[in-house]
């Protein structure tokens, strides 16, 4: 079966969680994105993420452990090779997805908002003193 028959471009949707649930891999190469929340959402859904260094969220990923980082956003052969590898090695695909989920759990909205609030309090204290 050719992989192209398994790729769907859906357009805009408000029910993205349904698509994460149907997916095996989340691919997000981009020329630039300061921090793509979709990366963290996909990881939280247990999906292996394939992205590139020009996406800020790639800094969360340990290459080949909880995601895959391409050499560049236009690394087509790297993307194809990694998609083929993951489709032929479902045990590794599942392990990367599980690791991605564990990593994403460290970045809950509650934790991030608490840490941001604490940082702002420290900045304000230092500015006043």
Domains of the chain: 3-128 (3.40.50.2000)
Separation in Å, CA 35 to CA 5, 6, 44, 127: 30, 28, 15, 28
Task: Give the C-alpha separation, 120 to 106, whole Å.
Answer: 20
Sheet strands side by side (includes 26-28): 26-28, 49-51, 68-69
Mean pLDDT, consecutive 10-residue stretches, the chain (129 aa), reads 76 87 93 86 96 93 96 96 95 98 90 86 80
Residue 129, pLDDT score? 61
Confidence (pLDDT) at 35: 80
| Structure tokens belonging to residue 71 | 């050499």
Q: Answer for the pair 69, 99: CB distance below 8 angstroms, yes or no.
A: no
> Would you call 59 helix, strand, or coil by DSSP?
helix
CA-wise closest residue to 67 among 32, 41, 33 = 41
The pLDDT assigned to 1 comes to 60
Please provide residue 90's backbone torsions phi and psi, each rounded to the nearest 5 degrees: -65, -25
Task: Report the predicted TM-score, pTM, of the whole model to 2 decimal places.
Answer: 0.81
């Amino acid at each position: 079966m050719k992989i192209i028959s398994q790729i769907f471009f859906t357009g805009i949707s408000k029910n993205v969680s349904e698509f994460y649930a149907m997916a095996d891999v989340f691919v997000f190469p981009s020329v630039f994105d300061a921090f793509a929340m979709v990366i963290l959402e996909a990881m939280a859904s247990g999906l292996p993420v394939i992205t590139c260094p020009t996406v800020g969220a790639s800094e969360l990923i340990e290459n080949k452990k909880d995601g895959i980082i391409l050499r560049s956003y236009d690394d087509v052969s790297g993307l194809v090779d990694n998609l083929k590898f993951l489709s032929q090695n479902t045990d590794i695909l599942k392990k990367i997805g599980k690791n991605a989920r564990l990593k994403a759990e460290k970045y809950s909205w509650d934790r991030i908002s608490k840490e941001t609030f604490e940082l702002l309090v420290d900045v304000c204290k230092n500015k006043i003193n």
